[in-house]
Structure 1
């Protein structure tokens, strides 16, 4: 039991100073947003803050202010129910997932910091730097939305007429509730992005083994480690990613339904906060799906890279059939280098060809048999790695399919409400 407690502690001991500083900073950040559950007292405080800011305040706000029957057209909140339910659902999902992560794994294991000792200095440094930047990335998404919503709430209370002390307190509490719910949702999204970023660094490092590695067994072992990490990430985040897709889709369809029905008033005063809520949810979903598809694309690019390596080595072995290992780059190597140099001036399409830029220098074509290389290529073709959700691979094809499904639902809903055809 004591070993398990030490493994799940939020601040384990570190031998690497930079990793320890990064973890300590992240722990301080969790404490600041009341998500530190390292002991019973902090756990109780965390759940109390969650209940207050996610459940109690939104309910009281809806009963007292959103249901106002004497307000003018600019101060009506006809869509407050959808806003509160949407933010409640995603914040509750995020809080429960984050609590489960810290309780079952601990921050060290959850962020894969315990595996950095076997990585290169470049991978370790890049991941630690990204971990330290996580708070800045989170603030870049949360603060603009909070400022806009805070400005709207201040305007709403000030322009309503007489402002009493309890109105000022209610305004501050509503702003804190909005900040907490959006922040906790973005925390999990940014953490998912951070963990995927580590695997991308490892994939980029793995791609360079084709330049120097002569043992197929070592290449296979390294790839199995990456596949295992991707399975772990998929298993931990599959509920969060799936439920986020479902909840955001339901929220957007419900918003579309109430804003397009007959007699609905849609302007910046009544629907501005609804639009801000939609932007928040879609942005968080975009972070998750982009991170998942990016790492899946990188992982599947290894197959084409291995095939290219196999072809270069095979052709090179035929060119040097006398059995002597070539001391100069082969024709294929020169051709590959010329091809890369010819395309240096062309515009890159995102990061599609990052792994493909690996230089093919098959100097081990004699030491690695054709059968071993072919077996390795077959393995890559039959065991494509990536982020999955209950066996469903999150790649670009799946994103296109999700877009088609949601577009079909949107058009169907528009046809039912405004007769769109």
Structure 2
């Protein structure tokens, strides 16, 4: 693939039709983009994702083990009431803690590894090749702001549900008020920390995919410009290379998260259906909260992967429409009495041909028709075959976000859904039975 040294083709490819911005506007957009990236990096530093040194690495994992494992485990042991079996099931609390800790640890481990290896700009592909292009700066800023908005949209309702469950649980536990307040605050801090770490991993994958979707959507506009076919192929190779990098960096994360989330759903199903005691919102409400949060994270990942896969797969149809439009528009030249084989050449050079209307009765009109030369015909056929080869190339190299070779699109998502549904129905069939005498 051509490196950044191929700027002679890529710079006009992106900026030819973009109206020139004033130098002040360019500097303002660049400053805003830098501020947005700094804000994102500060957020990632606070929650321990930026482990650029051994000290940061140690501090990050110490805080994680303290807040996400040790603190909730201590509170479970402290607040457990052996005489409150109706409202407390200790196994439920421990299993939910294990599930929450696992998904958060996977997110922290995978994201911190990539950030330590590439840095924020290269990790998001907002580097010198893309981030300094004025055409995309505003869209980059919007996507980064969308990261925080989406995080708040999902954290807030889940936090309220978690808080309601903990308050109701404390009311039925009949402990002293100061101890109850301390337990609720500690549990909410621990849950919020682990949930933000988990969802941040999913939203970072969502952000990386959306930033690349900008370029896939812009690719259709490139076809409207009079550029050489080799430039289009080079741009597509670059986009596909970035998509391959995204899939490679997140494949372990997506696979492990999917396995843990699936195991959590089956565990919650088995525990609630196989338990002979009373299951209510007090002792089983954490299952609902944990399942909702984990499913939200997986849905965010699958939605982002499917979106970028469909954008990549849709380029073939866009190129086919572009090729057909150019080829069919050349037939309009036949109405002027010009050979259709040179129509596109005449259309590409409007100054070389003058439209003249002739009546059907003008028998001498053929004397004024410019005849196509062998050079013009060969040039047109060469361009036609180049476009046809380009369309064939796109249709054969659609690509998309993958997990070890499996493209994440609607077909894979439907397959996952029906596999999950089949296993759920099997578990329900083994645990919920009705006998008659």
TM-score (norm 1): 0.82
Match of 1:30 in 2: 44
Q: Measure the CA separation in 1 of the matches of 2:103 and 2:239.
A: 30
1: distance between equivalents of 2:310 and 2:292?
26
Query: 1:43 offset after TM fit, Å?
Result: 2.9
CA shift in 2, pair 1:327/1:93, >3 Å: closer
Q: How many equivalent residue pairs?
A: 371
Q: 2:279 aligns to what SS in structure 1?
A: coil
Residue 211 of structure 2 corresponds to 198
* Structure 2: gaps spanning 5 or more residues: 1-27, 334-339, 351-378
Matches of 1:264 and 1:379, distance apart in 2? 62
1:295 alignment counterpart: 308
Cα 1:214/1:98, change in 2 over 3 Å: closer
The one of 325, 334, 347 aligned to 1:326: 347
Higher alpha-carbon Rg: 2
How far is the alpha carbon of 1:312 from its aligned partner? 2.1
2:328 to 312, 315, 318: 315
Residue 77 (structure 1) shift = 5.0
In structure 2, C-alpha distance between the alignment counterparts of 1:371 and 1:322, rounded to whole Å: 13
Counterpart contact for 2:49–2:115, Cα < 8 Å = no
Q: Which runs of 5+ in 1 are unaligned?
A: 1-13, 330-364
Q: How far is the alpha carbon of 1:98 from its aligned partner?
A: 1.8
1:316 and 1:294 map into 2 onto residues whose CA distance is: 32
Change (3 A) 1:220 1:136: same
**Cα distance in 2 between the residues matched to 1:116 and 1:135:** 25
- What whole-Å deviation, never above 9, does each CA across 1:61-83 have from its counterpart, x for those lacking one? 333334x3111523445522331
* Two-structure CA RMSD over aligned residues (Å): 2.5
Q: Does 1:64 align with 2:78?
A: yes
Separation (CA, whole Å) in 1 of partners of 2:93 and 2:293 = 15
Say if 2:418 is the partner of 1:412: no
Shift of 1:198: 0.8
Q: Are 1:276 and 2:289 matched, yes or no? A: yes
1:326 is paired with a residue of what secondary structure?
Answer: helix
Distance 1:33 1:328 in 2: 59
Is 1:98 the counterpart of 2:111 in the alignment?
A: yes
| Aligned-partner Cα distance in 2 for 1:271–1:15 | 49
| Superposition misfits of 4+ residues, deviation over 4 angstroms | 75-78, 164-167, 365-368
Deviation at 1:57, TM superposition (A): 1.7
Is the 1:95–1:184 Cα contact (8 Å) retained in structure 2?
A: yes
2:319 aligns to what?
A: 306
**Taking structure 2 as the reference length, what is the TM-score of the superposition?**
0.79
1:56-135 pair list within 5 angstroms: 56-66=70-80, 68-71=81-84, 73-77=86-90, 79-115=92-128, 117=130, 120-135=133-148
Candidates 367, 389, 406, aligned match of 2:403 = 389
Q: Given the superposition, is the C-alpha separation of residues 36 and 168 from structure 1 closer, same or farther in structure 2, using an over 3 Å criterion?
A: farther
Deviation, 1:299, is: 0.7
Matches within 5 A, 1:175-324: 175-261=188-274, 263-320=276-333, 321=340, 323-324=342-343
